[in-house]
């Protein structure tokens, strides 16, 4: 993780949890014209539009005061959805046994993408089983990971 991502997470997490939601994770994509800050929230009862509006109002005020992002950006508050993003080691443990897609920041073992069944985390590596073979993918090399919806 980089500094701004860590700072945004440290700012958002207490605000989100104080409202009774789980901070699933966040994505910050800077851009010259307008960046994007997307925050994923969840709760045992699910997430409604009103929940997103409530968190958006709280986070907007916090961002206005702290001003951690230079330039223009768009704030989005979202539920994790069916293709839930996975951010932390605990997410990969929690969803062990579920199918996921993983994209890496570069090639690792000659590959950049994996799709298979999560088997947990061990020694800083996400274990994923794909077509009968198990791979240990370095957690710090994961660019994006999502559950594969079972519809």
Confidence label for 2 from pLDDT (cuts 50, 70 and 90): low
DSSP code string of 23-74: EEEEEEE--SS-EEEEEEEE-TT---HHHHHHHHHHHHHHHHHH--S-S-EE
The CATH number covering residue 116 comes to: 2.30.30.100
**Residue 84 within any structural domain of the chain:** no
* Nearest to 143, CA basis, from 102, 98, 84: 102
The CATH number covering residue 55 comes to: 3.30.300.70
- 64 and 115 both lie in a single domain: no
- 98 and 71 both lie in a single domain: no
**Residue 61 within any structural domain of the chain:** yes
59-106 per-position pLDDT tens digit? 999 999 988 988 889 999 999 999 999 999 999 999 999 999 999 999
In this structure, the strands spanning 73-78 and 35-42 are parallel
**Residue 141 within any structural domain of the chain:** yes
- 14 and 56 both lie in a single domain: yes
- Token pair in block for residue 15: 């605000």
31 vs 42: CA distance, rounded Å: 27
Helix, strand or coil for residue 77? strand
122-134 per-position pLDDT tens digit? 999 999 999 999 9
**Residue 68 within any structural domain of the chain:** yes
Domain that holds residue 34: 3-78
**Residue 110 within any structural domain of the chain:** yes
Of 48, 78, 108, the position where a domain reaches its end is 78
- 66 and 97 both lie in a single domain: no
Number of compact structural domains in the chain: 2
Of 78, 98, 119, the position where a domain reaches its end is 78
């Amino acid at each position: 993780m980089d500094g701004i991502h860590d700072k945004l997470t440290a700012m958002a997490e207490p605000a989100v949890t104080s409202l009774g939601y789980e901070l699933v994770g966040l994505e910050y994509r800077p851009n010259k014209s307008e960046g994007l800050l997307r925050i994923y929230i969840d709760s045992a009862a699910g997430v409604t539009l009103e929940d997103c509006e409530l968190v958006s109002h709280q986070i907007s005020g916090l961002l206005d005061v702290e001003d951690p992002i230079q330039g223009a950006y768009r704030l989005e508050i979202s539920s994790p959805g069916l293709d839930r993003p996975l951010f932390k080691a605990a997410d990969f443990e929690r969803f062990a046994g579920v199918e996921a897609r993983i994209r890496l920041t570069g090639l690792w073992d000659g590959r950049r993408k994996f799709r298979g069944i999560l088997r947990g985390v061990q020694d800083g590596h996400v274990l994923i089983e794909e077509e009968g073979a198990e791979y240990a993918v370095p957690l710090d090399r994961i660019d994006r990971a999502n559950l594969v919806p079972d519809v």
